[in-house]
Every structure is written in structure tokens, then in C-alpha cells.
Structure 1
Amino acid sequence: MIDEAEYDPLALLPDGVITDLCALYDRPVRGAVAYMQNLNDSSHIERHLKPFMAQMHGDNEVYLLAEAWRQGHTPPPKSLLTATLESVTTMPTWSQGLTSVGFERVDPGGLRRIQAFGSSAASIATGRE
């Protein structure tokens, strides 16, 4: 949730644009979700990844790629984005394409159990230690 004292760029969007993906995915939805997260961005882990996974309906197909890129709110490397797009457009299924570049299938309730984000995103996302 964005603090009211902060600048809110979402207020500039036209009506009808869906901005709350937690509310959208808290019920079964067709299709897969591919979520990329920079482990060096604790703010977005706390404010976006954790709430999203906590509300994710258990029947939804979610894949997470969480790695340490540059410090702060920085994008994934361009080579990773390119490889991901190439993979999901050439493999027979999204699942195969995503896992081939390092995404892991997530237990959507897996993040509900944690109190703090640990050093291994894969163990948090999949529920494995």
C-alpha cells in the first residue's frame, strides 16, 4: 500500500485500469503468472511480492524468478528478459519456457508462512528449506 504522504502515480491512470493485482488473483484465473523479483529490492519484496503471494489463490499457476541483480529497484538484466521472452515463445508451453530460464513454480500460500524474507527466494517461494 502506498503511503498517502507519498506521490501516487496510480492516481494519474484513467478509470478502468486494474492496478490491484492482489484482488484480481485472489480467485482462480486462467493462464500463468510470471513474476520476476530483484532480491536487492527489499521495499518491493515487502510492498508487492509478499502481499501478492499471500493473496494468490491456490489454484493459480505462478512462477517466480527471484535473483539478486543490482542494488535497489533495478530491472532484470536485458539478457534475462530476452531469454525469457524467447523461451516462452518457442517452447511448447509457458511452464516449460519459464522453468528453462530459472523460474520455479510457486506454492501461492508459501509466502504466507514466512515472517521475514530469507536468503533463498526459491525455498520461500516453493515452501522447501
Structure 2
Amino acid sequence: MRMKNRFKIIFFALLIICPLIIWIQIRNRQAGKKEFELFYSTSIYSKLKSITAGTNGTRITLVNNRNFVFSPYSDEKLNKGNIFDHIAKEGDIVIKKAYSDSLILINENDKFIFMFNKFEK
């Protein structure tokens, strides 16, 4: 009898937890898509206020307090293999044309081009 009760508790817990996990995944994916579309469609020419790396990508805050999240990747030819959030710092300039697949980082006297992962549907 005790084993049956334990099974019921586990069953009902999974019945609640599994849909909750699926709902959170869908919501996070929709938020990620919305953030990427904002970044992708925006033309940027500004100084950086802050840079934060996270699991969903790199968040940049511009001096006008606009925030963007994107996932830049390193390339030996484009950016000497540097990682964006390791070399970008407050005061650096970022340039991106609307709907462009690359972002330019001007760091002191160096210019780095970063491609970024596009949001897949």
C-alpha cells in the first residue's frame, strides 16, 4: 500500500512538473526570438555602457540605456579568435546596420568584426 501511495505522488508530481517545464521552455524561446528580432532589426552606432555574458547570449547596454541580447562567435580571420565579452568594455563603440549579420566592435584602436548566431524558428 505504501508503494502505491509513493507511485501516485510521483505520478502526479510529474504530471504537474513536465507541462510546467515545457511551458517555461516555450516562453523562454519566444522571449529569445523577440529579443533577437529587436537586435537584428536595429541599427546601432553607440558606445557601450555595460557587457554581460549569460546562458542566453551576450547582453549589451548602450549609453542610451538600450539593451540587446545576441550570441557573437569568434573567428580567427574576423576577430583574431577573440571572445566578444572578454574584449569589449565600457566606452567601446559598437556598430551594426539594421538586418546585418555582423557587428563591429571598436576597442581602443582595434576593430573587430563579430558574426552572431541567428535565431532559428
TM-score (norm 1): 0.23
TM-score (norm 2): 0.23
Q: Give 1 or 2: higher strand fraction.
A: 2
Larger Rg: 2
